[in-house]
Amino acid sequence: MTTHEKLTKAKSQLTNKYPYFGMLASRLKHESNSEIRFYASNGSRFIYNPDFIEQCSLDELFFILTNSVMHHILAHQQRKLKRRGGLWQLATDYAINAMLKRNGLTIPKGANYDKAFKNMYAEEIYEELKKRNYTEEVDSFDQEPPTNQTQEKPFSLLNRKNLSEKEEQEWEYAATISKELAMKKSVMPLGFERFAKKIKSKNIDWRFEL
């Protein structure tokens, strides 16, 4: 089985088991590239090192694809809330992985997962990470992830390329369609409310809507 066939199989099985995640993952086109160490996603293509993918189990591919698309569909809401910094990306990665764990996906060793963050909102995780890694004077929304988190890791997309506003809107639309189909089948994943709680700014309440 080629790596392309392996990824196609993973997407198919992901769609059968988790329709919402699978429908979103199916939007990504595969592109083999031996020059990268693990994998990357630019919003339209899933670029991967074939040797790395060859070593991955199907469960690990489920995680990689799902984590990738969840970051993409959150990107537009993050822009609207002006949350683009590295530490916020790290907090959402922990929140995403906690949600994936809650829905039965296997979290690979080395991924950003901490059971201490179970049932925590992304903002709460952000504040905890800020305490761990930054002084109070640092505005972490404008900073890169802590140096101990910026090393390239096999199951993390923290150093991914930012999407354009048009790409973000396309992912937001795709998420809406996938949500409608998943809800019709009564298979909407659990835990979406944990990505962001209400944020009050000038008497306006904001909430991620997925």
Most confident of 57-66, 126-135, 186-195: 57-66
Structural contact between residues 46 and 68, judged by C-beta atoms closer than 8 angstroms: yes
Residue 187 has pLDDT above 50, yes or no: yes
Report CA Rg, the chain.
17
| Over residues 56-80, mean pLDDT | 84
Q: What is the chain's mean pLDDT, rounded?
A: 78
More confident position, 84 or 69:
69
- Is 140 a residue whose pLDDT tops 70? no
> Each residue of 125-145: b (16+ CB within 10 Å) or e?
bbebbbeebeeeeeebbeeeb
Opening angle at CA 106, ends 69 and 59, nearest 5: 75
pLDDT at 154 over 70: no
Confidence (pTM): 0.76
pLDDT for 198: 45
Distances (CA, A) of 179 to 21, 52, 154, 155, 161: 9, 31, 28, 25, 25
The closest of 157, 152, 176 to 68, measured between CA atoms, is: 157
44 pLDDT more than 80? yes
State percent of the chain over pLDDT 90: 34
* Over residues 160-177, mean pLDDT: 77
The set of residues, in sequence order, having a beta carbon less than 8 Å from that of 133 and lying 6+ positions away, is 87, 146, 149
Contact 124, 92 (CB under 8 A): no
